[in-house]
Structure 1
Amino acid sequence: MQQASRRDFVIRLASVAAVAGAGTALTGCLGDGGDSVPPQFSFGVASGDPLVDRVMLWTHAQFPDSSVDVALTWEVASDAAFTAMVSSGSAVAAAATGHTVKADAGGLAPGREYFYRFRFGVHSSPVGRTRTLPAAGASQVSMAVMSCSNFPAGFFHAYSEVTRSGAQFALHLGDYIYEYPTGVFTGLNAPAERLQANPATELITLSDYRRRYAQYRSDPDSKVMHAALPLIAIWDDHELANNSWVAGAQEHDPSTEGAFNARRDAAIQAWHEWLPVRSPNPANLRSINRSFDFGGLLALHLLETRLLARDRPLEVQELVNPATAAAARATLASATRTMMGREQLQWLQGRMAASRATWEVLGQPVLMARMTFPVSVLQHLNPANTSPAAVAAGQQAVTEYLTALATQAQAPASLTAAQRALLDPVQNPQLGYNLDAWDGYPVEREMLLGMARQLNKRLVVLAGDTHNAWASRLTLMDGTVVGNEFATQSISSPGLEEYLIGLTPVQTQQIFRGVVGDLRFADTGRRGFLLMEFTPQHARGTWHFVSSVKTRTYTLDTSQSLSVSA
């Protein structure tokens, strides 16, 4: 579709989304469904998990003030007017699934754009647009990479911009919702009209999670984005609870919040209900790792890194506190410590070995690149330490370390004893600042990267989670470069600019660039999304930054990009 027609379609989607509730709430219309009051399609439509011949379709349909099931038909056509029908079928928006409904629409052709809708008699949902994966021989693929969409923290401007970016597909890498109660983790100067969470409490039950998804999906920018592009998604932790792992979560208290597994299962069910995903293993809804072949150009492998096997994330203070450091560092270096689990790692090895794609792409939530700091600096990187004295001490520690690095590079003979101590890996070891990411699971990361190198793959890793934009080289412990990582900034969650008090985003970026050797790009002050474009020759990431998520008006900056060659 040409850009002009793409914009026209987005405008039509926005108009439909605005009037959908009113248009479907009319009474006195006896449709083919046999009810005088048609169901409401209050949350629009979505599509996802495209294959070469099929795609998942999604909607939510419910009669006003009623909990009865809603029998629907779905239609796929090659034109927006639905004069050239391609596929159709029936589906039920059942009370058992919170009145969400999904259909696996088959009989489609590779690399084609389609239009779809759900119907109840003469009444129709909004119209969505989707696309199948390309057939073999694809020469170009583009996808919008997103993460960390936090409703009360700001407007979803980035979702709207995704529809204008030229992306063919959308990829959400987790933290699609946040589980916090009203007033928690909204950031500074959040829009007052978005502060009230629904429900107001922290999410625990299935009803809680369903209501929170409904709030997020009521957002007009979210509706437009979901209707405009097929979505591929993976979860991170906030779809359940902060820093979750296989047997618990940092902020889950069994004594007041009940059994963790009950909360986990409720969160997982709601995710499967509200996302247009194809469940690869209905017998185990935690198993959402899956692969997509984009016409031999790239193979996208989604990894589950939370609930299948992950060991408890360590805390930085465990590594720097003399009372706990030895035990924590031994745990960190353990050969059995895992994020993915051996079964999933073997699955990935099999997929990558069988793939003949130009690019092997891992879609997963957290940073894989090394982002380590010396202990002398790390002990000051505590967002809770906001006093002037603490900020000054942190800045001094950074300055001393960067000065030692510069002296070593330019005049090593003039290093002082104190500087030599700062650069001594035994006296001042390098440790990860974000141990919830792959820096907290270094042995398994080495196994994964070593596997990619052994298979001679062109590796690109996509990540989210940190709310900031990054690009890094992926290296083995011996420094061998194995691939590249592109990390997207958040849709709306606050970044380091709101937590490293006393430092401007430019200063923060300079510190990271100075200390982290593998880092190639950083922006720690702006929200948005990442547009990835793949060709046989290169993989290019362009960060789309919105100037503000706190106000309804904003500007867009797309000047930052980075390309790697095949």
Structure 2
Amino acid sequence: MTEQTPLRRRGVLKAGLLGTGVLASGVLGAAPAFARSGRPVLTHGIQSGDVDAHSAIVWTRADRPSRMLVEVSADPSFRRVRRLRGPLLTPRTGGTGKVRVPGLPPGTEVHYRVTAEDLDGRAASEPLTGRFRTAPRPGGDVRLVWSGDVAGQGWGINPDIGGMTAYAAMAARRPDLFLHNGDTVYADGPLAETVALPDGRVWRNLVTPEKAKVAETLEEYRGQFAYNLLDENVRAFAAAVPSYVQWDDHEVVNNWYPGEILDLPQYTEKRVDVLARRAFQAFHEWQPIDAKAAVDGRVHRSFRYGSVEIFVLDMRSYKDANTADRAAPGSVLGQRQAAWLVRGLSRSTATWKIIQADLPIGLIVPDGDDIEGVANGLPGAPGGRESELAWVLREIARRRVRNVVWLTADVHYTAAHHYSPDRAAFGDFEPFWEFVSGPLHAGAFGPNTLDPTFGPKAEFVHAPPRANTSPLEGYQHFGELTVDGASGALTVDLRDGTGASLWSTTLRPER
């Protein structure tokens, strides 16, 4: 697969547009203004996502009003193609658009080519090409990678080191899927042009106007998502690997919850609900997500992919306040989503049920003196948000749901946690694994303390020696999960940002 793109890092450097590290708005900017003449340009590459056995979403963005056109083929030469007319790419969606490509055979590599055609039909953009693999039939092999946390804590695209190189390491694993576990952007984390490192080196950031301040307007939120796609590693990976994307807090603001009123001087808009609506619109515009597949048009949804079924959670939109009573019953999924999850898990015929969670279960994640995560930090019976997870765990045990694995990110290190009722204050559940992996390109932290309520045990931890270590220091991570269709064996590798395996285990399915 070759990716054709106007965004070549060397070309940008030669043109001197980086200068001090700031890009002005335009074709190369994060959220460029619309052009008025010439042929359309696809400014931020192409992506695929929400793939199933017979279809997938294809996404792009153009620099002027135009029509999105998609061609699909069984071979990379595109000798025989099927053409689809996609939506108009207009300022109403920031120039972005996506279309679901239907009628595909299962377990097949599909090559796709995207162009944008001028509204009068006389000119078209240069095409961009990508590929994805449709879901195999039940029992097929699966290889997926997962991680989260991109461009956080002041560490953006550094052209001196080749940008966000962990994406290239993931691409080298040739996965079928990428599960993005949230913090897809850091809308609350402005970037500086340079950062002095403890060892005397200087980190240099590519900075766009939208990344120079916290996001508050719709255009500023759009600019957060556009920024990551300026990186050639990200664009190449997105064109080659379909994704299932969820959100967490930094798509809006750190540790947010519905109804919160900010007390932060850098924000003129203090109402988190207003910010979340704008961020949510930009999130859906810039990610290859099918809103029709979501339960309520928001984020949580599920997909069958060969031997696995993946349940994408939303542990942000329905959570209670971080200031809520930790001992009283709380909410992180909401009753409807919790019931949807239990119902879906109990009905699934997949060998493995993978829960794609944007928050870990047993790690204590504080928010100052309050609690940001699920674990309430109190020993004994479940309280706060733990009570909702306790209901989920109890119900899937009662319904004899087997082979459930949780994948998450959020805490900016990698770990393997085994949960057992033999060690727990609450024992009405079956043992299970939770695998944590991140950050993909952000500051590294950890490790966090484990809460004993559900009996977790850390079987492996790889965390930095100090808080907010840069990507230069080797604590970037992603996880890889493979399922052998014949035996059903599931192997998990926790990998560093170069792709090297730090720890591995193989799980055998219970029948």
How far apart, in 2, do the equivalents of 1:261 and 1:532 lie? 36
CA separation of 1:513 and 1:362: change in aligned 2, threshold 3 A: closer
2:17 is aligned with 1:43: no
2:417 is aligned with 1:472: yes
Instruction: Give the AA of the match of 1:463.
Output: T
CA separation of 1:482 and 1:517: change in aligned 2, threshold 3 A: closer
CA separation of 1:186 and 1:159: change in aligned 2, threshold 3 A: farther
How far apart, in 2, do the equivalents of 1:214 and 1:43 lie? 7
CA separation of 1:512 and 1:262: change in aligned 2, threshold 3 A: closer
Aligned 8 A contact 1:333 1:443 in 2: no
Instruction: Give the AA of the match of 1:130.
Output: F
Q: Pick from 377, 380, 390: which aligns with 1:446?
A: 390
CA separation of 1:254 and 1:444: change in aligned 2, threshold 3 A: farther
How far apart, in 2, do the equivalents of 1:185 and 1:239 lie? 21
Instruction: Give the AA of the match of 1:210.
Output: R
Give the equivalent residue in structure 2 for 1:278: 290
Give the equivalent residue in structure 2 for 1:521: 460
Deviation at 1:13, TM superposition (A): 2.7
Aligned 8 A contact 2:194 2:205 in 1: no
Q: Deviations over 1:460-487 (max 9, x none)?
A: 0010100110111134534564211111
How far apart, in 2, do the equivalents of 1:310 and 1:185 lie? 35
Equivalent positions of 1:93-492 (< 5 A) are 93-119=89-115, 120=117, 121=123, 123-138=125-140, 140-150=141-151, 152-154=154-156, 155-183=163-191, 189=197, 191-194=203-206, 198-248=210-260, 256-280=268-292, 285=297, 287-295=298-306, 297-307=307-317, 309-314=318-323, 331-335=325-329, 337-368=330-361, 370-371=362-363, 435-440=371-376, 441-456=385-400, 457-476=402-421, 477-479=425-427, 481-492=430-441
**TM-score scaled by length of structure 1:** 0.71
Deviation at 1:198, TM superposition (A): 2.6
CA separation of 1:134 and 1:564: change in aligned 2, threshold 3 A: same
How far apart, in 2, do the equivalents of 1:172 and 1:185 lie? 27
Q: Deviations over 1:542-561 (max 9, x none)?
A: 12213xxxxxxxx5522422
CA separation of 1:451 and 1:282: change in aligned 2, threshold 3 A: closer
Instruction: Give the AA of the match of 1:442.
Output: E
Instruction: Give the AA of the match of 2:326.
Output: L
State the identity as a percent.
Answer: 22
How far apart, in 2, do the equivalents of 1:106 and 1:251 lie? 47
Task: Report SS of the residue matched to 1:43.
Answer: strand
Structure 2: state its 5+ residue gaps. Answer: 13-25, 28-35, 118-122, 157-162, 377-384, 465-474
How far apart, in 2, do the equivalents of 1:198 and 1:122 lie? 28
Instruction: Give the AA of the match of 1:18.
Output: R
How far apart, in 1, do the equivalents of 2:126 and 2:463 lie? 43
Give the equivalent residue in structure 1 for 2:490: 539
Deviation at 1:186, TM superposition (A): 9.8
Q: Deviations over 1:148-169 (max 9, x none)?
A: 0116415411111111012111
Deviation at 1:15, TM superposition (A): 7.5
My pick for the range that moved more, 183-192 or 471-480, is 183-192
How far apart, in 2, do the equivalents of 1:246 and 1:172 lie? 22
Deviation at 1:218, TM superposition (A): 0.8
How far apart, in 2, do the equivalents of 1:338 and 1:345 lie? 10
How far apart, in 2, do the equivalents of 1:451 and 1:186 lie? 51
CA separation of 1:540 and 1:437: change in aligned 2, threshold 3 A: farther
2:21 is aligned with 1:18: no
How far apart, in 2, do the equivalents of 1:455 and 1:84 lie? 48
Structure 1: state its 5+ residue gaps. Answer: 1-8, 27-34, 64-68, 315-327, 373-380, 385-432, 498-507, 547-554
Deviation at 1:239, TM superposition (A): 0.5
Task: Report SS of the residue matched to 1:103.
Answer: strand
Q: Deviations over 1:197-226 (max 9, x none)?
A: 634111111011111211111111110110
Give the equivalent residue in structure 1 for 2:62: 61
How far apart, in 2, do the equivalents of 1:449 and 1:524 lie? 28
CA separation of 1:13 and 1:118: change in aligned 2, threshold 3 A: closer
CA separation of 1:124 and 1:194: change in aligned 2, threshold 3 A: closer
Instruction: Give the AA of the match of 2:460.
Output: F
Instruction: Give the AA of the match of 1:472.
Output: H
Aligned 8 A contact 1:530 1:542 in 2: yes
**TM-score scaled by length of structure 2:** 0.79
Instruction: Give the AA of the match of 1:533.
Output: T
Task: Report SS of the residue matched to 1:44.
Answer: strand
Q: Deviations over 1:19-42 (max 9, x none)?
A: 9999xx99xxxxxxxx97111111
Structure number with greater Rg is 1
Give the RMSD, CA atoms, in angstroms. Answer: 3.4
- Which one has the bigger helix percentage? 1
Deviation at 1:181, TM superposition (A): 4.6
Give the equivalent residue in structure 1 for 2:504: 561
